[in-house]
Amino acid sequence: MQTIVFEGQDRIALQEKPQPVLNDGDVLIEVDLCGICASDIAAINGEVTDYSPPVVLGHEIAGIIVESRHPEVQVGQKVTVNPMISCGTCDYCRVDLDKYCSQIEGIGHDIDGGYAEFLKFPKHGIDTGKLITVPDSVLPENLMFLEPLGCCINAMRETILSESVAILGAGQIGLMFAQLATLQGLEVFLLEPFAHRRDFASFLGVGRTFDITDDQIKELIGVTNGGVDTVISATTNNQKAIDLAFQIIRRGGCINFFGLSAHDQNLTVNLEKLHFSGHKLMASWAFSRWSLGQAQQMITNHEIQLEPMLTTRFPITSGIEAVAYVRQGRGLKTALIGG
């Protein structure tokens, strides 16, 4: 089968590999679609370090079971995965904080993932509830968004929300936040420098969009009487994004630095200023089993628009071109077509 292997910084390769061999209790998933995630790009760029190359990338998987050696999993079942395989018994795993488990193994991070025609999902993952099934009626074009949606739902639960929220960035993550916030009845503002992304947000009918020019920022601060209650940064948290967040937050408001940051990016705050501004600064990362369950329900019940965000697809054999395309910031969401 064809796979895209991450070999180290700036090194990815199209590799032909034998189809995975199952042990007792494992299942084989044929990949329909696998989303290319910003974190995969960050790993290739050498900006994040939570990957163990060489590994087949891909954790945003929509697929189907084609072989099962597990008594509870049927061939033909439509599935996606909770890509964090953890011990299942430690203090973190017991309270749905699997992401902090010391024995974490990530699909598409440490074990081979979905930039492939097939992937093996291990017995231990199934026994700890990490194989997520959906009805046949769910399209792969929606299913592949389940993991990123779960990350957004987790962050929404952690963030201090009041009446208004500004989302930095109208990429696929920003647009999911905007939709979730709209569903919660919040007043939503999207800040996005690219016109085609602002237009797409308007097309989805979520929130009011602003450019990040001085005039537009002034206008946003004006219409919100001094700033928004909450900022969720759904973009790379470089200095520009950090400064923008502090510019548009009201006194006492909450900023969630959700987006990825390069490993050498620091947040410098004057503690006296922070004290008197009363700003609540936080970060949210990844998903929980609970938030993936919520995402599973929302997708099954068509409560959120996901498929329109999938703008581009490449076959696995063009995986290197696909990664280059995403690296250039083109399209909104790009996926590889699996088997």
Binding-site ranges for Zn ion (CB under 5 A):
37, 86-87, 90, 93, 101
How open is the CA angle 326-327-329, to the nearest 5 degrees?
65
Nearer to Zn ion, 17 or 99 (CB): 99
Minimum distance from residue 40 beta carbon to Zn ion (Å) = 7
Nearer to Zn ion, 253 or 319 (CB): 319
Nearer to Zn ion, 90 or 282 (CB): 90
- Nearest of 4, 42, 29, 33 to residue 309 by alpha carbon: 33
Backbone angles phi, psi at 177, to 5 degrees: -60, -45
Contact 197, 215 (CB under 8 A): no
Contact 126, 73 (CB under 8 A): yes
Minimum distance from residue 88 beta carbon to Zn ion (Å) = 6
Q: What share of the chain is helix, strand, coil (3-state, %, to 5)?
A: 35, 25, 40
Minimum distance from residue 37 beta carbon to Zn ion (Å) = 3
Nearer to Zn ion, 106 or 227 (CB): 106
Tokens of 112: 């081979």
Q: How far apart are CA 208 and CA 95, in angstroms?
A: 37
Minimum distance from residue 38 beta carbon to Zn ion (Å) = 7
Minimum distance from residue 172 beta carbon to Zn ion (Å) = 10
Nearer to Zn ion, 132 or 249 (CB): 132
